[in-house]
Amino acid sequence: MNTKCPREWRHERTVAQTADDAGCDEPSVLRERGQREVFCGLTGIIWMHRKIQDAFFLIIGSRTCAHLMQSAAGVMIFAEPRFATAIIEERDLAGMADANEELDRVVTRLLDRRPDIKLLFLVGSCPSEVIKLDLSRASQRLSAQLSPKVRVLNYSGSGIETTFTQGEDACLAALVPSLPTEAADAAPSLMVVGALADVVEDQFDRMFKAMGIDNVRFLPSGSADNLPPVGPNTHYLLAQPFLADTAWHLEDRGAKRIAAPFPLGEEGTTLWLRAAAETFGVSDEVFDTVTAPGRERAKRAMAHQSERLAGKRIFFFPDSQLEIPLARFLSREMGMVPVEVGTPYMHRDHLAEELEMLPSGVRLSEGQDVDKQLDRCRADAPDLVVCGLGLANPLEAEGIATKWSIELLFTPIQGYEQAGDLAELFARPLVRRTRLEV
Ligand code: SF4
């Protein structure tokens, strides 16, 4: 059992990994700690709120946070959203007792208006007024008041502590301690961890069941009433590469990780499914029978796009933490040439299989010093740049085709049926630029 907090754990691992780097066969990594251009962890709410149907995310923040959520969510909200911002501004310490009362009032009003809410996340942000509020204590107080009808949890989406996809990690990590305990004599179960589009989740669920793996659960689940149990018989399979703290909390509850690359492209999906199949003793014959049709469809769908992408040079700015699995997919299955693969954080254990499959000589960078990275990008003159919204417009103005990394979180991209769409996401900006040039 882990006895240290996740932050300590991560720090120690980073130090140990740095020491291990010297002399090993892994590619060297350029570590940068300068100005960065990455969204904060609040952004994750935009996809997470659609996943857990009876949850609500109440951001305790400023007008800036409310604006970010509005502009990032933009046209993607069709129904009444399951998130809102409680704006807490310009308070001194003497006003903090009022802030707690006000928070209670906001929560009561919200729950009166939305009786369907079963799980409420209080999400912290950066303003100093919010940092002074003890959201952990507030969530315990509210949970005690509202139990058992509503469970209240908290996590931070602050830009000081989190980047972009770390918001999902913080949210799921907050959820893990409240998962039910799996019976000690329960049959081994498979837990797929990381928010996936419903259509993708259904496809994976069907394939695992067809292989004979019946005890399959997903975290997050679609409902707060249906959270997956966890215990020493749980084998978890990460569907996303940015869930370091969630993994730590799962292991703290006895779950074991199934090491695998991530399910992007035909190859990644096959290796991801195979890792689970091997853990559960599925025969090669059954595995091949279940996966062969999907593999064929994925290959056919990707073939068209690989004609457009083969030989094109691609540069990744650090943003979503999907960069390394994407670079692996694009180089091995689409024939693209990654020149730099930047990622905000690199979890070497979770990415070990991915790193082994990257082409040799690719430049890897972790963290960011945005001006230096922009200089490297201009010098490389890639055909396509994957980056956040803040960098895309200036780069486009310089004549460089870009792909917004945020789209890779909003679009279903995992699994066989989505492999063609994933490839097309990268082909589209190149086609658009060719048309503009004509
Ligand atoms: Fe709010 Fe901080 Fe994110 Fe800005 S960076 S939107 S202040 S949480």
**Per-residue pLDDT tens for 49-76?**
888 999 999 999 988 998 888 877 664 5
Which range is least confidently modeled, 18-27, 225-234, 319-328? 18-27
The ligand 1 atom nearest the CA atom of 125: 8
Q: What residue's CA is closest to ligand 1, atom 1?
A: 65
The pLDDT score that the predictor gives to residue 127 is 85
- Taking the centre of ligand 1 as the mean of its atom positions, its distance from the CA of residue 218, in whole angstroms, is 29
Which range is least confidently modeled, 42-51, 212-221, 273-282, 381-390? 42-51
**Ligand 1 pocket: which of 36, 64, 69 to mutate (most atoms within 8 A of CB):** 64
Give the rounded percent of residues in the chain with a pLDDT score beyond 70.
89
pLDDT digits (tens, 9 = 90+) for 116-138: 999 999 999 998 888 888 999 99
pTM of the model: 0.91
**Ligand 1 pocket: which of 36, 39, 40, 133 to mutate (most atoms within 8 A of CB):** 40
28: confidence class by pLDDT, cuts 50, 70, 90: confident
- Taking the centre of ligand 1 as the mean of its atom positions, its distance from the CA of residue 45, in whole angstroms, is 13
Give the rounded percent of residues in the chain with a pLDDT score beyond 90.
74
Q: Is 217 helix (H, G, I), strand (E, B) or coil?
A: strand
pLDDT digits (tens, 9 = 90+) for 391-416: 999 999 999 999 999 899 989 999 99
The ligand 1 atom nearest the CA atom of 61: 1
C-alpha dist (Å) from residue 280 to 37, 236, 274, 301, 331: 42, 12, 10, 30, 30
Alpha helices, DSSP H, located in 335-381: 352-357, 370-380
Model confidence at 279: pLDDT above 50: yes
- Taking the centre of ligand 1 as the mean of its atom positions, its distance from the CA of residue 242, in whole angstroms, is 20
Q: What residue's CA is closest to ligand 1, atom 4?
A: 65
Question: Residue range 359-384: average pLDDT?
Answer: 95
Whether the CB-CB separation of 172 and 153 falls below 8 Å is answered with: no
Ligand 1: residues within 6 Å at CB? Answer: 40, 42, 61-62, 64-65, 68, 125-127, 157-159
- The more confidently predicted of residues 364 and 90 is 364
The ligand 1 atom nearest the CA atom of 159: 5
The ligand 1 atom nearest the CA atom of 69: 6
* Residue 244, both tokens: 């370091």
In sequence order, what E strands does 294-362 have? 313-316, 337-343
